[in-house]
Amino acid sequence: MSISTTYGNIMPIGHTEAAVTAARPRHAPSTRIALDVQNVGLRYQTAKRKEGPLVLSGASLEIRHGEFFCLLGPSGCGKTSMLTLMAGFLKPTEGQLTLDGKVIGKPEADRGVVFQGEDALFPWLTALDNVAFGLKMRGMGKAERYAKAEQFLELVGLRGQGQKYPTEMSGGMKQRVQIARVLVNDPKILLMDEPFGAVDAQTRSRLQDELVEIWQKTGKTIVFITHDISESVLLADRVGVMSKGPGSHIASIVGIDMPRPRYRGSPAFGVMWEQINNLIESQEGQP
C-alpha cells in the first residue's frame, strides 16, 4: 500500500481560501461557513479576583457546513471552554462567534450539545422521554414526539430500549441516548465534548464507527472535542490543534483526506497520527 503525499496538509491559520480549498477533503460537501469563531478571547471571572485566568486568546476558526471537525489539544488547553462558547453557555470576553451569520449569545436548539458525562441526562425520564424532551419543549404533541423519538432511538441503535431509565443503561447506551436526544431536535450543528471519553475501549470504537455512519446519513455539521489523536484521525475531515494554555488559540488545522470507512491499522492512519502527534508535541514543547 502506498502512502500518498497529499495526506495531511498542514495549514496555519490565516491561509488563503485557495489553500483551504485545496486541502478540503472530498467528503465535505461545502465550503460555506457554518460556525465562525472570530478572534475570540475568554477570561473567567472569579468571585474573589476581578481578573480570572485567561483561557482563550485570539482564537479563530471556521467550521464548514456538513463537515466533521475535531478539536484536539493538550489537556487543560481550553477545548471545553471553546465548546462552551459555541453552545452559548458563556459569552466570550473578546471577539464573537456566529452561526450562519447570526451572533451566538445564549444556548438555543439550533446547537445541540452532547456532553461527556451522563449527568446531562434526566434520570427521572425514560430513554424515550429523554429523547422527546426537546420536542416537548418546543410544544410538539405527545403522539408525534414519541413517534419521532422512537425513530431516532432506532437511528442510534436503541430500538425497543425506550422504556429503560438511564440508571438501567450502560455508559455506551447513555451516550447513544444523548446523541439521539440532540439529533431529534434537528440542530444546525452538533457540539460533542469528548462524548466517548468515559466508555470502555471496545464500546468506544463501535460508537465511533456508528457516529460516522450517522453523520453520513444525516449530513450534520459536527464539532467534536477529543484529546485522543486516533479518535480525531478516525472521525474528522479536519482536525484543529489547539495551542497550550493559558490564552490558547487554534495553532494549526490538519485536513484528513482519507477515504471512509477508515481503518485504525492502515499505514496512512499511522502517518496521520504521527503528523498530528508531532504538532501537539511541538505545542507542549513551547514555553
Partner 1 sequence: MTQLYERSAQTTRGPSFLARFMEAAHMPLIYFGSILAALVIWQYVATNYFNPAFFPSPSIVLTTAWEMVLSGEIFVHSAISLQRIMLGFFIGSAVAIPLGLLMGSSRYIRAAFEPYTEFFRYVPAIAWLTPVVLWFGIGEISKVLIIVYTTVFIVAINTIVGVGNIAPNKFRAAASLGATPLKMFLYVTWPATLPFILTGMRLAMGNSFATVVSAEMVASDKGLGFLIFNSRLWMATDKIFVAIVCLGALGMAADRIFRMLIRRFAHQYGSAE
**At a CB cut-off of 8 Å and minimum separation 6, what does 165 contact?**
123, 125, 126, 127
Nearest distance in Å: CB 137, partner 1: 4
Cβ atoms of 155 and 214 within 8 Å: the answer is yes
Shortest Cβ distance from residue 85 to partner 1 (Å)?
Answer: 13
- 249 Cβ contact list (under 8 Å, min separation 6): 13, 56, 57, 58, 59, 60, 242, 243
* Total number of residues shown for the chain: 287
**Closest CB to partner 1 among residues 70, 182:** 182
Distances (CA, A) of 34 to 8, 69, 120, 190: 23, 12, 26, 11
Q: Kindly state the cell numbers that stand for 126.
A: 425514560
Amino acid (one-letter) located at 254: V
Q: Residue 26 CB, nearest distance to partner 1 (Å)? A: 31
φ, ψ (nearest 5 deg) of residue 27: -80, -25
Q: Going by C-beta distance under 8 Å and a sequence separation of 6 or more, which residues neighbour residue 162?
A: 126, 127, 128, 131, 149, 150, 153
Toward partner 1, which CB reaches closer, 27 or 136? 136
In the complex with partner 1, the residue whose CB is nearer, 107 or 219, is 107
Are 199 and 246 in contact, with CB atoms under 8 Å apart?
A: no
Shortest distance, CB of residue 197 to partner 1, whole angstroms?
14
- State in angstroms the smallest separation of the CB of 161 from partner 1: 15
- Minimum gap (Å) between residue 90 Cβ and partner 1: 10
Whichever of 2 and 167 has its CB closer to partner 1, that residue is: 167
Residue 55 vs 121, nearer CB to partner 1: 121
Residue 98 β-bridge partners: 36, 103
Question: Which residue, 118 or 257, has its beta carbon nearer to partner 1?
Answer: 118
Binding stretches for partner 1 (CB under 8 A): 87, 89, 106-109, 111-113, 115, 117, 119-125, 133-134, 136-138, 165-167, 181-182, 185
